[in-house]
Amino acid sequence: MTIPKKFKLQTKTFEVHYASHLNNAGSDPDQDILGLCHMTDGLIYIQKGLIDRELELQVYYHELAHALLYHADGSWQLTKNEELVDRLGHLLYQYDESKKGDLGTAVNKTLKADLTKFVNTKLDEEGE
Ligand SMILES: [Zn+2]
């Protein structure tokens, strides 16, 4: 599992950074000191030098959950619910850790080719 440097939610690009000193002073909605999510600036900070990679990932997914809930809800209500954020963060972590394999694609290439031919024929007819 990797922690991305950047990702996008709706029109907002988020950047992820390590930080040496995190505090929850000011208006930030996040009460954690291991991670912070600045929704309006599109920034996620993770405390530098955590004891292990697993904790670091859990902090990342917790902060990601804050951002996802904010964008899914369109308000500050759900993202302020630390219990919900924590549960979603754990689920995202578990999902990422346990996913395996690649189902591939079931796109029907013959059908797609037929549809493209049909659409082009219709366009030709309309053009005449
Ligand atoms: Zn939090």
Q: Where are the domains of the chain?
A: 6-127
Between the CA of 61 and the centroid of ligand 1 the distance, in Å, is 10
Contact 47, 36 (CB under 8 A): no
Between the CA of 43 and the centroid of ligand 1 the distance, in Å, is 14
pLDDT digits (tens, 9 = 90+) for 57-108: 999 999 999 999 999 999 999 999 999 999 999 999 999 999 999 998 888 8
Prediction pTM value = 0.78
What length does the chain have?
A: 128
pLDDT digits (tens, 9 = 90+) for 3-13: 999 999 999 99
Q: Which two tokens stand for residue 37?
A: 């999510």
The one-letter amino acid at 24: N
Q: Over the chain, what is the mean pLDDT? A: 89
Choose among 87, 80, 92: nearest CA to 24.
80
Compute φ and ψ for 57, nearest 5 degrees. -65, -40
Between the CA of 115 and the centroid of ligand 1 the distance, in Å, is 48
pLDDT of amino acid 34 = 92
